[in-house]
Amino acid sequence: MLLSAYYPKEKFIPFKTVLIFDEIQECSHARSAIKPFMLDGRYDIIATGSLLGIRGYSKNDFKSIPTGFEYFINMKSLDFEEYLLARGIKREIIDTMKNNVISLKPIDLALHSLMLDYFKEYIVVGGMPEVVDTFLKTKNMSLVHKIQQNILEEYKDDFGKHLNNSDEQYVNKTELAKILAVYNSIPNQLAKENKKFQFNLIEKEARLKKYYEAIMWLKDAEIISICNNLNALLLPLDAYKINKQFKIYFNDTGLLISNFSEGTTASILMGDLGIYKGAIYENIVADMLIKNNKKLYYYSKNGGLELDFIIEINNNIIPLEVKASDGRAKSLKEVINNDKYDVHKAIKLSSKNISVNDNIINIPYYLTFLI
């Protein structure tokens, strides 16, 4: 009744009207209004918001959250499959590639070449809906870059908003500085040959304890993903993770690329990834694995053995190596041929077509969403 008074020209038809509360995190009273609407039952409610549930709300805000009356759907940016659909690629073509992966038969060469080109687009555009929509409508990479930069600035603005909701202002200003320090260091961390996160790149003699909360905040906000090192290749993988050894990846590679110069985008589309090529391909694979509900682990030992990712498929440990070019898979061969590792198959992700060689399956990295 009150809404119809505010908007007399609108019709609120019972059982046929949906109300959308956008950016609901800005108003705790709007969130508490969900419960009476649900109890009333005549109108459906969709509430959207960012960083919901992240610590930083004031204590009073939590009193009004309607426990048991919210049903969460966690939205991620588009994966490569969704990007292809947005680009107009028919579902039957995607299904054909899925069948090729299942049967381990090469993709048609013309289609393979086309997918590599589309994948380069996806690397620089990413999966943020507004960015994808703008690119598909304009093909203007300069405009894409500006929108990505705006999104990054909005992220930073959100950091401050959420932390400033608490009464402990000094603590929050300090925490915000730590969050920004971690966030801003990620591109340089990934550009290293050894991509293990190093705190001395943020601050000399810094330790995990000082930045742990900031890292967890970014993880809970789903802006980054954490990939832990394992001390053994055994199941369950989570039981063998090393909490103090990890890599950090952006959850949208397009946003990672936008941290670089605009010239980097053009270079990537031309096939030249420069010094960042390892970082970019590892990040895009991590992003696609996360969107496929895989937990991230890697395996690194002194002496040179390093596996980019370790995943579990059908109760089997499967190492993954990511190659910007074809490259040799020395570490994969070592774990497969060594009896002390319970590893019988491995996957190499590269620009090459589907093939199998000595229990190493080569899959084009654009098909990571099928793993």
Q: What is the pLDDT of residues 341-355, one digit of tens each?
A: 989 999 999 999 999
On the 0-12 / 13-18 / 19+ scale of CB atoms within 10 A, 179 is: buried
Q: Tell me the pTM.
A: 0.86
82 phi and psi, to 5 degrees?
-65, -35
What is the reported pLDDT for 37? 87
Residues whose CB falls within 8 Å of the CB of residue 43, separated by 6 or more in sequence, listed in order: 12, 14, 15, 17, 18, 19, 37
The 10 Å Cβ neighbour count of residue 224 is 19
* Distance (Å, whole) CA 297 – CA 227: 5
Classified as helix, coil or strand, 126 is coil
Which residue's structure tokens are 């709007």?
Answer: 30
The tokens describing 303, both together, are 């002496």
Using DSSP's 3-state secondary structure scheme, residue 202 falls into coil
Q: What is the pLDDT of residues 161-173, one digit of tens each?
A: 666 654 444 447 7
Q: CB atoms < 10 A from the CB of 276, how many?
A: 20
Contact assessment for residue 296 and residue 226, using Cβ atoms and an 8 Å cutoff: yes
Q: Which residues of the chain have pLDDT under 70?
A: 51-66, 161-171, 261-263, 271-276, 325-327
Three-state DSSP class for 172?
Answer: helix
